[in-house]
Structure 1
Amino acid sequence: MGELESFEQIYQRACERKGGPKKLAALLGKPLPPSQLEKVGDDRFLAEFTKKVFQSGFVWRVVRDKWPDFERVFFNFDIDKILLMPDEMVEKKAQDPSIIRNYNKVKTIRENALMIESVRQQHGSFAKFVANWPSHDIIGLWAYLKQHGARLGGNTGAYGLRAVGKDTFLLSRDTVSYFAQRGIISGSATSKRSHKAIQDAFNELHKQSNRSYQELSQIMSMSVGDNHIQADSHNDE
């Protein structure tokens, strides 16, 4: 079993690579506090999940450029309206040239709306459900999305949560590389064993620093790999 560095060691190395504490701080994003996150519309969760599903294995820029048309075609991701779409409408919308025509991915919109609706019935809103899920077990929320959602496994669900404002670390290339090089994980980074080892490591770093899991994974990502001072250099966090 490998050994995790202290937060201070990771932080100092990231500062050196990025030109000092102030420049590093400017590169860090922060999640929404739970009190704000639970006020986010459930339509925004469906929108971000959909965006990440389409961006998976595709050019992100193209999806971003077409996104206003996605919003228009899919009723601004209004959950109730999406759930009323019959199969024939789903098929027709999947052929709309203004969006990316991928029927299997378009089908996930209604499927993930069903997941959100199921959670709403139990918790009042999907936003409250996500906001109240503790980040010290964020891998549990990832697993929930993978099991109950459509195409939300791997990094897709996690990136969707981050985009909405949920405090989550990400398994970026640099972060995975860090844990592999330290011997904290071996084999697939997406296995249950690796997820638990990574969650435990971030829990320890959170305990040491009291920083958000988002900041911690960004700092870790910027402390390794080939990204140095330039803010626009490689960093897929």
Structure 2
Amino acid sequence: MSTAEPFERIYQRACERKGGARALAALLTPTVSDEQIARLPDNLLLGELTKKVFQSGFVWRVVRQKWPGFCEVFFDFDIEKMLLMSDEMLEAKARDERIIRNAAKVFTIRHNAMMIDDIARAHGSFARFIAQWPASDIIGLWAYLKQHGARLGGNTGPYALRAIGKDTFILSSDVEAYLRATKVFDGGLNSKRSLGQIQQQFNLWQHQSGRSLTHISQIIALSVGENVVGMQR
């Protein structure tokens, strides 16, 4: 049986650890409306998916430093141009010193461009599809990206969604530790049953607090673990 606390208790603990409500608020990611997301160009979304694919298992700082090179090599992730790239062209680009040379990850760009193009044909744009997906079933969107995209499983898809402003929680190590300690789930982290239990708990916390899933997730992470910088003593 879950022993998860009411969200107000989690929030108050985070405030105490981080130096008060104002200091805590400064650490939270600004929220973006679904209307704003729906207006984003699909090439920007492909770029964010690609950035997170390359950051997965790698030093994020290095990917950020190389990012202007990625945009040059891949034509700012123009969807039509990505769809026209042959295997030989992708292999050549994977050897370009302006990017991180990982051929397997380079090939995901075309695959994910194909996913975006298919969705855009059905929904008007990939951005609109993302924007219209309900946050109350964000794990369903994670599953969709994992099934139809390339290398978007685990936390890669959620981090990409967070980067474009889509409201989503992230199962970081601190969040996972809290959810396990309070028995929100007791199986494998990425099993369908566990994710359903986690989504249900986040929906409850959202009902209690009126906050975004993004902020709830971040506040939980800041309320536990060893991140006590600024904690009042």
The letter of the residue matching 2:103 is: Y
Mapped partners of 2:216, 2:30: distance in 1: 10
> Gaps (5+ residues) in structure 1?
232-237
Q: Aligned runs of 1:1-237 on 2, under 5 Å? A: 1-230=1-230
> Any stretches of 5+ residues in structure 2 without a counterpart?
none
Work out whether residues 90 and 107 of structure 1, in 8 Å CA contact, stay in contact via their aligned partners in 2. Answer: yes
3-state SS of paired residue (2:110): helix
Q: Residues of 2 paired with 1:210 and 1:23: CA distance?
A: 20
What amino acid sits opposite 1:118 in the alignment?
D
Q: Once the two structures are superposed, what CA deviation does each residue of 1:178-228 show, in whole Å capped at 9, x if it has no partner?
A: 000111112321111111111001100000111111000000110110111
Output the CA distance in 1 between the equivalents of 2:60 and 2:112.
Answer: 20
What is the aligned partner in structure 2 of residue 235 from structure 1? Answer: none
Once residues 166 and 228 of structure 1 are traced to their aligned partners in structure 2, the CA distance between those partners, rounded to angstroms, is 27
Note the C-alpha offset of 1:84: 1.0
Shift of 1:150: 0.2
1:177, 1:217 → 2: CA distance? 12
Local SS of the residue matching 1:14: helix
- Larger mean Cα displacement after TM superposition, 108-117 or 179-188: 179-188
- For residues 107 and 7 of structure 2, the distance between their equivalents in structure 1, rounded to whole angstroms, comes to 42
Distance 1:4 1:204 in 2: 10
SS in structure 2 at match of 1:179: helix
What TM-score do the two structures reach when normalised by structure 1? Answer: 0.95
Return the alpha-carbon distance in structure 2 between the equivalents of residues 102 and 165 of structure 1: 27
Q: Deviations over 1:53-106 (max 9, x none)?
A: 111111111111100000000000011111111111111001111111111000
105-114 or 31-40, larger mean C-alpha shift:
31-40
Structure 1 CA distance for aligned equivalents of residues 31 and 120 of structure 2: 22
**How many residues are paired up?**
231
Q: What is the percentage of aligned positions where both structures have the same residue?
A: 59
User: CA-atom RMSD, angstroms?
Assistant: 1.0
Letter of the 1:217 partner, please give it. S
CA distance in structure 2 between the aligned counterparts of 1:80 and 1:165, rounded to whole angstroms: 24
Amino acid at match of 2:6: S
How far, CA to CA, are the matches of 2:7 and 2:73 in structure 1?
Answer: 46
Question: Given residue 50 of structure 1, which amino acid in structure 2 is its aligned partner?
Answer: T
Amino acid at match of 1:162: R
Q: Give the Cα separation in 2 of the matches to 1:229 and 1:107.
A: 41
